[in-house]
Structure 1
């Protein structure tokens, strides 16, 4: 639990710095904007590539914490390569990597860091070597490759010590302490973060010093040293209240945790309420989720149902909001990556066109002096025209591809939202019930008879989850175009029997009579796993809407080209309006005879699986008179 907390805390700090970086610069925004405009004007009027490089590198340093910076980095890198300035090339590669890291495009960031490291080593630039190693170590830390991360940080430390770069060492020790904490070497982690704090005290960087002290507080709390951790947390709280309310909420999260662990419950509740007030002013803090979680657990453990429900509701709402923000940021990052690739492609085309233009200029001079070469000039010009026309066609094709990709992203986003909804609501409730029972058993608040009463309900809920999860995984793979049909010869009678046996021992069975009228010798060529899911969903559906003693029949009819398989029941039936909604694109579900809940995913998935096996599916029903679901499979 501690390892996860340390890493989440560090990632949270980076996320907050990125998501709210402009907020911390509000008081200076006008000066920065004015300075950036002046540099940009000089850059646009610069004549030499050397001067352009110096100016654009200065520009991106000024606007490094803004979204507009990323569009200038590729030009800065191109100019650095053009004039042969390896240091500025590596520096801008590292800075662009930081931007992609903050957008959670870690693989893209790692490529840029590794390229910067290679350039720095070839040109023997110690400062950029150190920063590149630090950055790579940080990416491996995010990816839970802690030994690899530690190796890079140790290598970077040697480089910074060689050149006496204190600022680089401070960043190095700060990151290294987090890795050491993850591998539970807390004594070494504490010693390392203290080195970073000492350097930052000497350099007088208040913001970075505050961050390092807060990291030290995390390490101290993991060691159980709450007394020494509290001043460092309060230091971040004071800084946050004066400069950045997001950091204040972050500090309040740790104060709530500390007070709960030291049994000062009233103070914990007070800090939590203060965080909620701050959060109302700035509703984008991930720390508030941890605070809601702790408050929910605190009141739940004490049997305060009203307060625990209130915090549970706030917790769910904030989690959903955070998921939306992260998803939007991730999709925005993907868009930026694609734009970068397109810009690089257009830049290459531009360079080719510039070369072609220079060639045309010199050729025109030759043609002017040599009149007899007019025919040759015309031919070259005509070929150039055809090439431009071909380029235009290719550009239009690329535009179509980009539009198609955008449509696909929209579709996948809708799929993602539904998956999140199912995970958040339909899968969570049974897990909460099971967790609650385990908690009661652990606290010896549940008698044997009460446990036996709850056990069938839990069995049914977990059975529902098992089939729902199986449907969800298969449907998700289908939506992502990752499911292929594997045709084999299957015996329908045996497949039905297997599913009946399985469901009779599950929580769906309520004493119904299930009959298999499929002939034992009937075989078809289809995907066995898909047809297995089809039978399971149809039989589960029938069990859901029938009661004890009702009859469920699986039958088959043969025609010239197909077998028609039907699952009939004597259940509650479906209204005409309900029949219209079956098998549609929208998720539609009603409660079963024991108030079993569903998502509507099973019938949608069943339709897709039947169609993939070249069949059709339909339903017939009368409200109160039962239902019949039929699907076809081609004969061999």
Structure 2
């Protein structure tokens, strides 16, 4: 679906793109000449490979040169893979670990340039392994440097810092200024990702100074200009002030740098850099309000990303374009592109792309009014963000930043000293070489004459010595053979004995270790079971105490209303009661039976909650309507004390819960509020949505509960069940209301506070 939409909307600027390409090709004859020269050299190397049939180090060197010419250019990918396989096979056959390291490195760089980061990482690691085998420092440094850049792409800054530290140390040892500058670029990328743009710009300027003086790496210059553009675009006003740049100049500087980088990338056909630069250019255009230019740049970024063999740049460019469409309320295109980016991120474990895609999808769903779907996407966005960057990584990065800053400053001083020392050494070496050349011509003649005389004497002496040695060796060889035969027999016997002893000791050690492990786990399991049994015993004892207390309450509190009912019936039978007394006694009996009914309902609910298999029935419940029903049912109780009972809950709050359990909890809490509120008081019920929960509060003018009482109710071992406190009008409770509220709140995944 995403490809079809892209074809439709690219038609609006395809004509402009075609003109731009013709202008680019017409105005860049120099680039054509450079590429033609490079292709001629490549053809020459391939022809040399065909004519040179011997499989030796020279042929392997030819394969490596072909890889160097092709790894980062738009050539036939199959041709590159062919020579990559050839170089690896020949390197294995010749057991040449250094050349194998180069072959794996350039293969990894090829995949890295085209966005296939997983394959690139695999080849870089194999290259490091092969270079380590022979202490091949150049190979180690190259692979560490590119691994650092790769981990920057994956936002794994901890690994990126490790790789940069390793690369910088080796380049310092080799005195390689160009590669040290490349490390500065990688370090700057990390600081940019951490939003420390001022520090990043300082490292980029160091690298720029080195590459400008050396003038040997167009790709390095393009990368520096691209990252400088990012830094000025993302720098805070405070950072710009520290750099001496007015905030109004931010976009001019960013645009100037990205144009320089884009020109270098187009000249060298550096596809991954082209993709990044069009994205940055789109960001600048969008920031200054040129939405049309921004859209065109984002689309060009995606077009060039699709020419790469890997999926990283396609996913990243799709996410950026989707975010732009979402900001412009083009929700259909934003949704299609974001879903495409999400698939790429999930399939390849690109957590940064996955995070950005979820954020865009959440925004789109929210704008479409699908709030439940938006919430799901936002939760996934938070989960992806946590994968990408957790607290432990932040600590590790901070530590390594300090280590890296110190190391870089120290090496910068040493590199300056090396440049000064190198100039002095070159002058001294030139003078020494001239003196040695003059002295050598005189000494050569004398040495040749002495050598001739010495050789003549040596030949005579050697002849005599060889005759004597021959006789001695014949005797010695016979004697040595006899001694060696005896030694071999003794060694064989000793080896057999040692082998048996080692086997016995190994078996014995395994038996003892296994026994120890079995005993250890058995003891640990026993302790864990004892703890569980003790806890269960305590809970059963508390439950038994609660049960006894409840039965004592029931036996006492149910006897009184039943006896009262019997007495009134007897009076009615005798006919000895007036109408006035009958009405009075009936009212008292109604209150008593109402209390008894509430107590029986709470007891039955408590008994149900203690049964195994008792579970809430979760469903979508309108909180406002549910609270309204409970409040209406409690108006009779509140009217007796002239208490104002009001629900202030909106009818648009919906929660996933058990309606019956929620009603029971609310009835008990509102009943308690009425019970402990004086006559003519107020009781309000309010609710609000906080994150993933609905908070319901019963607010009254009564004495309320202390923090210690609330903590005691929420305690897993609550020992006050069955006890009751008289209300403001001497009302009596059941003693298990709060226990039921706490139990049912836990079953509904809530809590009392």
More helix by share: 2
TM range (shorter): 0.3 to 0.5
- Report the TM-score, using the length of structure 1 for normalisation: 0.43
Normalising by structure 2, report the TM-score: 0.37
